Amino acid sequence: MDHVVVVGAGLAGVRSIEALRFRGFTGRITLIGEENHRPYDRPPLSKAVLLGETDSTVVDSDLDALDVRLCLGTAAKGLREGVLETTEGELEYDGLVIATGAAPIRLRGEGRQHVLRTIEDALALRERLVPGARVAVVGAGWIGAEVATAAARAGCAVTVVEAGESPLAVALGPEVGSHTTGWYARAGVELRLGALVGSVDPDGLTLMSGARVPADVVVTGVGVRPAVDWLKGSAVRVDDGVVVDEHLRTSLPNVVAVGDCASWWSRRFRTRLRVEHWDTALQAPDVAAATLLGEEAVYDPVPYFWSEQFGHMVQFAGHREAGDRMVLRGDPRRDPKWAVCWLKADDRLAAVLTVDRPRDVVQGRKIIESGRRLDPLRVGDSARPLRDC
Secondary structure (3-state) at 18: helix
Q: Which range of residues in 43-51, 60-68, 165-173, 332-340 is near ligand FAD by CB under 6 A?
A: 43-51
Q: Does residue 9 bind ligand FAD (CB under 6 A)?
A: yes
User: Between residues 78 and 380, which has the closer beta carbon with respect to ligand FAD?
Assistant: 78
Within its chain, how far is the Cα of 17 from the centroid? 21
- Binding string to ligand FAD for residues 142 to 161, with x set by CB under 6 A, is what? -x------------------
Q: Does residue 96 bind ligand FAD (CB under 6 A)?
A: no
| Candidate list 3, 28, 153, 277; residue touching ligand FAD; CB under 6 A | 277
| Candidate list 99, 243, 351, 361; residue touching ligand FAD; CB under 6 A | 99
Q: Does residue 172 bind ligand FAD (CB under 6 A)?
A: no
| Candidate list 29, 96, 136, 227; residue touching ligand FAD; CB under 6 A | 227
What is the end-to-end Cα distance of the chain in Å, rounded? Answer: 49
- The size of the chain, in residues, is 389
Tell the smallest beta-carbon distance from residue 211 to ligand FAD (Å): 28
Tell the smallest beta-carbon distance from residue 178 to ligand FAD (Å): 21
DSSP state of 321: -
Q: Does residue 100 bind ligand FAD (CB under 6 A)?
A: yes
Residue type present at position 175: E
| Cβ neighbours of residue 129 closer than 8 Å, sequence gap 6 or more | 50, 135, 150, 151, 154, 156, 217
| Candidate list 25, 278, 310, 342; residue touching ligand FAD; CB under 6 A | 278
Q: 220 has which bridge partners?
A: 138
Q: Does residue 250 bind ligand FAD (CB under 6 A)?
A: no
Number of Cβ within a 10 Å radius of residue 285? 28
Among 213, 254, 209, smallest CA distance to 93 is for 254
* Rounded Cα distance, 325 and 334, in Å: 22
Secondary structure (3-state) at 259: helix
Q: Does residue 265 bind ligand FAD (CB under 6 A)?
A: no
Q: Which range of residues in 40-48, 151-159, 175-183, 353-361 is near ligand FAD by CB under 6 A?
A: 40-48
Instruction: Tell me the site size for ligand FAD, rule CB under 6 A.
Output: 36
- Per-residue three-class SS string for 238-262: ECCCEEECCCCECCCCCEEECHHHE
DSSP state of 339: E
Pairing of strands 197-201, 204-207: antiparallel
User: Between residues 315 and 363, which has the closer beta carbon with respect to ligand FAD?
Assistant: 315
* Rounded Cα distance, 228 and 81, in Å: 17
| Candidate list 161, 191, 281, 327; residue touching ligand FAD; CB under 6 A | 281
Q: Does residue 307 bind ligand FAD (CB under 6 A)?
A: yes
* Rounded Cα distance, 16 and 189, in Å: 40
H runs (alpha helix) in 154-211: 169-172, 174-178, 181-186
Please list every residue from 309 through 368 that binds ligand FAD, using CB under 6 A.
Answer: none
- Binding string to ligand FAD for residues 185 to 224, with x set by CB under 6 A, is what? ----------------------------------------
Q: Which strand (E) or helix (H) includes residue 286?
A: helix 278-292
Q: Does residue 84 bind ligand FAD (CB under 6 A)?
A: no
User: Binding residues for ligand FAD, per CB under 6 A?
Assistant: 7-13, 32-35, 42-43, 45-46, 75-76, 99-102, 116-117, 143, 227, 230, 259-260, 276-279, 281, 305-307
